[in-house]
Amino acid sequence: MILSRGRTLTYIMMTLSMGASSLQAIADEKDLYKFLWLDPDKKVYVLQNKLFKKKKSIYTQLGYVAGLSGEYQDTSGLNFRTGYYLNEEWAIEGFYNSYSNKNNDAYDNIKRINQTVPFVRRFTSTYGLMGIWSPFYGKINTFNKIIYFDWSFGLGLAKINAESNKDTVSIPTQSATFQEESYTGAIAKTGLRVHASKRWFIGIDLQRSMYKAPGPVVNGQASTSKLRGSTDTILSVGFSF
């Protein structure tokens, strides 16, 4: 009976010893993880394998443009762009936008109720060149499918072709006619590239054009030019090679 108790006590001691060793190993792993995470000398540049590399690649995109700034216009159009990535973060991109404009309900209501038309300036086309910076990339697991994406920013110069009724809108006895205009401005954008495959991707962009232009002519006096802007959203399909 004494021997049986001794064996039982020995077994319990061995079990506790092994458990303590396991707990010590787990604690050591956690401490090591915390140490590596908090160590200021440790720098992590890549958190995952980069599946879709951009360095020295050429890409083209074709997309649909929806204007967001036309108070009295419904604006849509087509976007074409092409670019070249110098490395994983920096690219040079050229673009061309063609616009189609239509008077919306707000324009028609003012014309019907007040017997007048509002001042309108609308884009017909824009083109330019910008630098693209792509500092962020990542992946999302959605419905058990991994989606890879890049997030970029762009800044550059644009040629803006437009038309407005600034010369005739304030003359009641004269029908408002649109005259062609041209401006040089700046353009900025931010966008997501969602990868569908090694070559194909979907682009979602928010683009802002900024330029200086005058307002309507009133009593023969031209108004001073001031900074104006127009915002577009662009949904596109792209190919990289």
The pLDDT confidence band at residue 51, using thresholds 50, 70 and 90, is confident
What pLDDT score does 170 carry?
86
How far apart are the C-alpha atoms of 201 and 135, rounded to whole Å? 18
The pLDDT tens digits of the residues spanning 141-186 come to 888 888 999 999 999 999 999 999 999 998 877 787 999 999 999 9
Give pLDDT, residue 41. 59
Return the CATH architecture of domain 58-240. Answer: Beta Barrel (2.40)
Q: What pLDDT does 49 receive?
A: 67
pLDDT digits (tens, 9 = 90+) for 126-135: 999 999 999 9
pLDDT in tens, 55-112: 999 999 999 999 999 899 999 999 999 999 999 999 999 999 999 999 999 999 999 9
pLDDT tens for residues 5-29?
A: 445 444 544 554 444 444 343 333 3
pLDDT score at 62: 98
For the chain, what are the domain ranges?
Answer: 1-44, 58-240
The whole-model pTM stands at 0.78
Average pLDDT for 181-199: 96
pLDDT in tens, 201-225: 999 999 999 999 999 998 888 888 9
pLDDT at residue 142, as a whole number: 84
> Which residues, including other chains, have CB under 8 Å from residue 28's CB and lie 6 or more apart?
none
Mean predicted confidence (pLDDT) in 33-44: 52
The mean pLDDT of 221-235, rounded to a whole number, is 93
